[in-house]
Structure formats: C-alpha cells, structure tokens
Amino acid sequence: MKDILNLSTDGLSYVELHAATYALVLRKHGSNLYDTISDAVTDHLCLHVASKIADVSGDEDFLLQLDKRFSEHQKGAEMLTDVFDYLDRVYLKNHGKTGQETVGKLAITLWRECVINNPRIRRRMSSCMLRMIAEERTGAAKADWDALKKVNSMLFVLGEPIYVEEFETRMLEETKLYYRALAVKRIDIDDSPAYLCSVEQWLQDEMDRCDHFMQPRTKHPLFTTVRNEVLNEMSQSILHNATSGIVNMLRNSQVVNLQRLYRLFSTMDELDGIPDAIFNHVREIGKAIVLNVENERNPTQFVEQFFKFKEKYDTILVEAFERNRAIESQCNQAYQLVANMNPRSPESLSLYLDQMLRKPPKDMSENELEGVFVKAMGLFRLFNEKDEFEQYYRKHLRKRLLQKRSASDDNERTFIGKLRDHCGFAFTSKMETMFNDMFTSADLTRSFRDVQNNVPGLKDVDLDVTVLTMGVWPMMKTYSNPIVLPKQCQDAVKAFEWHYGQLHSGRKLNWQLNMGRADIKAAFPSGKYELSVSTLQMCVLMCFQGEQSQGGPRLSLQTIGDMTGLSGDELKVSLEALTCVSGKDILVKSPPGNEMSPTDVFELNKAFKSKTARVKILSSSSKRETDQERSVTRGKLTDDRKPQIEAAIVRIMKAKKRLDYNSIVLEVTSQVRNRFLPTPGDIKKHLEGLIDRDFIERDPDDRKVYLYRR
C-alpha cells in the first residue's frame, strides 16, 4: 500500500492485489482490511507528506508543493479505489459501519485530517494566500494566481465547507478591513467622480481575482463585501459632496459620471437615495424657473425654459439612468410639482401654442413643429387642471379662426388630435365643432353672395359672416347698449338675417361684432389706402366719414361713444389702436398722450402717411389675463366642474349603492382626473347638494357612509 501511495507501482500486480482483497472479504476480514488501509494512509500522510510540505520555504513554493502532493495523493487514492473495489462494493455495502466511506473518499478525508489540519500547514496555508492577495492589492507584488487557484481547488475538492472555513471567510474579513480603510482615506482625497472611478476599478480587480483563482460561489459575497465598504458606507459622502456630488453632476450634465454612478449604485437596493436626491434637485431647478421674474412677465419664455429644463433631465434619465422606473417616477413627480407650482402654467402654454400656430419661426420645419407639439403635450400631461388649459386654448383658438390668423389648419388639427388621443373625444369635441362651424359658414357666405349680388344697395359691402354654435365658442360677449353699425353695414346685416332665416327657420342670430374685422378704403393727402381694422374700429372711423374737404370733424370721446354705442374699455382700446401706434395713427388726439378721458377730442390725421397701400391695424392680440379676468375664468371653471363632479358621484353611487366618504373621494377623483383634480372639500360640498336634492342619503347608523336613493 505504501508503494501505491508513493505511486511506485512497477512491481505490483493489479490482479493479485484484487484477488487478495476478494479473498480477505470472503473470509470475513473486511473490517480488518479497512482499518489497515486507514492506518496505512494515515501513517503515510502524517509521517512522510505533511512534514515535507511544512518544511518547504517560500510562500509560492509552499502552495505549489501542497498542490503537487495533493495531486499525487489523488492519483494514489484512485489506485486504491481500483484495488479495493470489491471491498467497497461488498463489505461496505453489506457490513460497513455507519459513517464509513469508500476507500477513495477515505483517502481524501484523511488528507484533510492529516495534512490540512496539521497546525504548521493550516496556519501557513491561510496566511500565505491572504498575504499574497494583500500584497497584490497594495501593488507590492504580483500574486501567483496559478498557485492560489490550485490550492483553492484542492480545498473545494475536500468539501465546500472546508473551502469556506479555510479560505473564503478569512479572505472576506481581510477584504472588508482593507477596503474600509482604503475608502476612508480616498473619500477625503478624491472628488466624487474620481472616487467612483476608483470604486469601479476596485470592484473589477476583485472580480478578476475571483475569476482566476477563487471558486464561483465566492464572487457574490466578495463583490458585496467590497461594495458595502467602498460604496454603501460612503454613499452619503459621494452623493452629497458639496462641490462634486450628484447635484453638481446633474447641473453640469456629466452623463459619463452619472452613468458610472448609476451603474455602481444600481447593484444596491433602492439605489440608496439617488431617486430622492434627483427629485430634490429637479424640484429646486424648476422652482427657480417658476419664480424667475422675467418668466413671470413673459409666458412664452417660461414655457420655453420649462421645455429645456424637462428635456435636459429627460435626456439624463435615458442616457445615464437607463430610464430606471424609480428615478423616472421621481422626475415626473418633480416635473408635475413644478408645472402646477405656477398657477398660470395652463394659460402660458396656451399662449405659447397660440404664437406657434399663428406664426411659427420662418426656419422651423414641419418636424421641428411636431417636436414642439410633443413637448407641449409633455407639459400638458403634467397639469392637474387640464380643463383650465382647454378653456384658454379654445379662447385663443377662437381668435385664430375668426381672425384667420392660423398659419395652417393642418397644424391646428394635428395638435387637437394629440389632445384627443390623450384625453378622449369629449375633451376636444368643442374644438372640433369650432372647425366645423368655420367650414359650414364658408358655404353659407357663398350662398349669401348670390343674394347680395342681386341687391343694388348691397354691392358696396362685401359681408363675410361666420355663424358660431352657442355654448361651443368661449366667452361670447353681450353689450348693454347695441353697437351702431354704419348704414351700409346695417343693410347688409339685415339682408343676411333674412337669408339665414330662409335657410334655418326658428333660429336667432346674436351678433358678436367685437370679433369681426373690416377693410375700409380711405383717402388722405398723402394718398389712398386700404385700412384693415376690427369691426369696432371701423365703427369709430366711419364717424369721421364725409367731411375731409372741410378738414374733418373733431369729435370727443363721449360723442364717439354716443355715435357708435361703444363704451368703457371697448371704446378706449379701439381709439388707442387708432391713435397711439406710431406709423398707424389714423386719428390724432387732443391733448396728446396715451391716457383716455371723456373730454379728449379726436380728428383724422391729415399728415398720415404709410409706405404700404394696405395698412393693418391689429386688434389686441392674445395676451395674459389680468387678475380680474383670471378671477372670472376661475369662476367659470368652478361652474363647469360642478355638474361633472355631481354626475360622477351619481354614477358611482348608482353602481355601488353604498359607499363610505373616503371611497367616494377616490372614485370621483379617478373618474374626473383626466380633466382636473377635485379637492375633497369640493366633493364634500357637492355630496351635500345631492343629499338636499334626494339623490343620496346618509346611512342612519354611520354618517360617514352614503346610500343611493333612486
């Protein structure tokens, strides 16, 4: 047996040895034979192998000698398995004691007990391996990966618990202490990006070591150990570094550094505070945009800055954070908070779109305009009160359509289509009807032309009427006193009313003269011009008709008001447009100045001169509402929301029959949130109103529960 273990088998006969084993087992000497084998292997390992290994000098030579001896012992164990095969198959199977191993396994077990557990070898083996790894980490020396791999493989062959106990556990503890000290040292020296580069390199180095000379099972605990010390424990110092942390990376769009940050932190649970840090930063940047005084004065600038702000962080979200759901959710919450922080955001977006749809920049392509629409929808989706945007958008759309100032009907319909796709047909139905009214009115005007051409007195007036559907077009204006049109216009209006009555019996027309425009031919000493003015401005100018040869009449503001039926702001705004705009000052005011008073006197400007034969006097363009106008808009919104909230409550109660107050609030909010977010107070108020009208009632036993009555 000694020769087998020493691999000196030239003079041995396998047949004779196998026959001897067979004979001993048959004669019931299997137990003695098994003990003899165990004693022989033990003596060989303890007396000849372990001592020689322990005497080897040099760490690498020691480990290589350990592996070499183990490889020889494995070959000897294989030979013993072949020779004593009958002992394993017959004796151990039928008469072996509990816990007895096959001869081959016994040889390996004895290697562990006699060699690995030898005090001189065990202590030295672990210290050699750990010392070689430590020296490589510090750069003092390059470890012999082959020797380390062979010894680790040996330990794993002896059993996974042996590998863990003799190497993995000790190595992980040494690793923890090393990187803990290294992290504390480097975090004070490096800025966050430089430190993260080091972290990435440290982790990669450890993974390379593991791949080359450790077992696969060690990879995860090794990675976790290093990461915890250099990343988890230092996360707050990395993220919140005042000069180089995540805020600085975000502010300066350091995508590469953010990619590395995310790549490393994504290995940890919940990204260890990154989403919250991004939320706080995005919120503060957005808040600065909202509070900017210039943005407060200029709605278009506010919207454009918001687009750039959102585009910047959306790009970072995609390129640096791979659209991580947690981070994306926090970004969207910050965007929504910023968008609704400015109560005028819906109005500002509508004004911005009004400008784009009236007159987009000359160098803007269709694709670029489509990009603007996409950005606008991104902001629109953030609004809590989408119905407020709808109200402003319809108001501005009304002016574009009636004043024929839309650059393209296709562009108008494209954006309305995007609103419809997001909010449903009900949201855009009134806008669609506004377009239909324009088309049907064009047909109506063409039919009126035939009538007009057959009436001699109407040929001098070219009347173009747009018939609008009541309740669809926003903010129809009524006047306390009827506006007095010039005689020619009055005749044309009566003719149109007669013609419309012939086509639509029983319908009544309510004229909205403040939305119309007119073209007037006028003669001045400097030449003849065609003036394009609003209908109200036309009424004012016609007061000065017919006396140019005498120098023209001089009329007071009060007199003009009496002659036209205009009063208040309508009259003042019309006169301001005709007197106070340089180059378009058709009238002259005495005394000069922009302030209007009832005693001011006006006359035609005999010195009027223009480079173009057609002079366009613009009516007030879309502008931001005053606080008073906004108060009126808010009141109308409140009135419009009342039936929507009540209808939602009735639908829910009819379906559920019985619900508590909190459930009603949740259900109602879910149903109407596509248009606005009602407050619990609003829902409570409308609940009380429905109780008063006997639609619902309170449960007698629980006042927080409501019952459907019908």
Segment among 96-105, 301-310, 351-360, 582-591 with least mean pLDDT:
96-105
Query: For residue 252, how many C-alpha atoms fall within 13 Å in the half-sphere facing its CB?
Result: 11
Query: Is residue 356 a part of any domain in this protein?
Result: yes
Query: Is residue 90 a part of any domain in this protein?
Result: yes
Which of 457, 492, 513 corresponds to the end of one domain?
513
- Tens of pLDDT along 647-657? 999 999 999 89
Q: Residue 12: pLDDT band by 50, 70, 90 thresholds?
A: low
Tell which wins on pLDDT, 28 or 377.
Answer: 377
**Backbone angles phi and psi of 231, in degrees to 5:** -120, -60
Q: How wide is the angle at C-alpha 164 spanned by C-alphas 52 and 76, nearest 5°?
A: 40
Q: What is the dihedral of CA 30, 36, 38, 39, to 10 degrees?
A: 160
Q: Are residues 648 and 681 in the same domain?
A: yes
- Tens of pLDDT along 269-285? 778 789 999 999 999 99
Q: Are residues 318 and 400 in the same domain?
A: yes
Q: Are residues 358 and 472 in the same domain?
A: no
Query: Is residue 566 a part of any domain in this protein?
Result: yes
Would you say residue 476 has pLDDT above 90?
A: no
For residue 550, which amino acid is it? Answer: Q
Helices then strands, each counted (H, E), the chain: 33, 9
Query: For residue 255, how many C-alpha atoms fall within 13 Å in the half-sphere facing its CB?
Result: 10
Task: Kindly give, in sequence order, each residue whose CB lies less than 8 Å from that of residue 251, ignoring residues fewer than 6 positions away.
Answer: 281, 285
- Tens of pLDDT along 449-468? 877 777 666 667 788 889 99
Q: Are residues 597 and 647 in the same domain?
A: no
Q: How wide is the angle at C-alpha 56 spanned by C-alphas 51 and 61, nearest 5°?
A: 135
Q: Are residues 191 and 168 in the same domain?
A: yes
Q: Residue 548: pLDDT band by 50, 70, 90 thresholds?
A: very low
Query: Is residue 622 a part of any domain in this protein?
Result: no
Query: Is residue 621 a part of any domain in this protein?
Result: no
Q: Are residues 462 and 352 in the same domain?
A: no
Would you say residue 547 has pLDDT above 60?
A: no
Q: Are residues 596 and 607 in the same domain?
A: yes
- Tens of pLDDT along 329-352? 999 999 999 999 998 999 999 999
Tell which wins on pLDDT, 319 or 296.
Answer: 319
Query: Is residue 648 a part of any domain in this protein?
Result: yes
Residue 530: CB atoms within 10 Å: 13
Q: Are residues 94 and 222 in the same domain?
A: yes
Would you say residue 622 has pLDDT above 60?
A: no
Give the model's pLDDT for residue 549. 40
Domain count, the chain: 5
Query: Which helix (H) or strand (E) is 660 found in, with range?
Result: strand 658-660
Would you say residue 477 has pLDDT above 80?
A: no
Give the model's pLDDT for residue 459. 66
Q: Are residues 589 and 643 in the same domain?
A: no
Q: What is the CATH number of the domain that holds 574?
A: 3.30.230.130
Read off the pLDDT of each residue in 108-119 and give the average, rounded to a whole number.
89
- CB 75, CB 7: distance < 8 Å: yes
Q: Are residues 322 and 461 in the same domain?
A: no
Residue 356: CB atoms within 10 Å: 20
DSSP per position, 514-575: GG-EEEEEEEETTEEEEEEEEHHHHHHHGGGTT-GGGT---EEHHHHHHHH---HHHHHHHH
Collapse the DSSP code of 277 into the 3-class scheme (helix H, G, I; strand E, B; otherwise coil) and give the result.
Answer: helix
Which of 409, 437, 465 corresponds to the end of one domain?
437
Residues in the chain: 710
Task: Please report which residue ranges of 103-191 form alpha helices under DSSP H.
Answer: 103-111, 119-138, 145-158, 160-163, 169-187
Q: What is the CATH number of the domain that holds 639?
A: 1.10.10.10
Segment among 4-13, 111-120, 696-705 with least mean pLDDT:
4-13
- Tens of pLDDT along 623-661? 677 777 778 888 888 888 899 999 999 999 999 899 999
Task: Please report which residue ranges of 298-364 form alpha helices under DSSP H.
Answer: 299-319, 325-341, 345-358
Q: Are residues 176 and 75 in the same domain?
A: yes
Q: What is the CATH number of the domain that holds 184?
A: 1.20.1310.10
Task: Please report which residue ranges of 188-234 form alpha helices under DSSP H.
Answer: 192-213, 219-227
Q: Residue 297: pLDDT band by 50, 70, 90 thresholds?
A: confident
Query: For residue 340, how many C-alpha atoms fall within 13 Å in the half-sphere facing its CB?
Result: 14
Q: Are residues 487 and 520 in the same domain?
A: no
CA–CA dist 562, 271 (Å, integer): 73
Task: Give the rounded percent of residues in the chain with a pLDDT score beyond 70.
Answer: 94
The three-state DSSP-derived secondary structure of 470-491 is CCCCCCCCCCCCCCCCCHHHHH
Q: Which of 467, 543, 550 is nearest to 501 (CA)?
A: 467
Would you say residue 175 has pLDDT above 90?
A: yes
Ordered strands of the 527-534 beta sheet: 517-524, 527-534, 614-616
Ordered strands of the 601-604 beta sheet: 555-556, 601-604, 587-590
- Tens of pLDDT along 490-544? 888 888 888 888 888 888 888 888 888 899 988 888 889 999 998 899 999 988 8
- Tens of pLDDT along 211-251? 999 999 999 999 999 999 999 999 999 999 999 999 999 99
Which of 513, 535, 558 corresponds to the end of one domain?
513
Q: How wide is the angle at C-alpha 421 spanned by C-alphas 416 and 425, nearest 5°?
A: 75
- Tens of pLDDT along 32-84? 888 888 888 888 888 888 888 888 888 888 999 898 888 888 888 888 878 88
- Classify residue 480 as exposed, middle or buried by CB count within 10 Å of its CB (0-12, 13-18, 19+): exposed
Domain span holding position 222: 2-238
Query: Is residue 31 a part of any domain in this protein?
Result: yes
Sign of CA dihedral 470, 471, 472, 478: positive
CA–CA dist 603, 588 (Å, integer): 5
Instruction: Output the pTM of the full model.
Output: 0.79
Segment among 98-102, 222-226, 288-292 with least mean pLDDT:
98-102
Q: Residue 315: pLDDT band by 50, 70, 90 thresholds?
A: very high
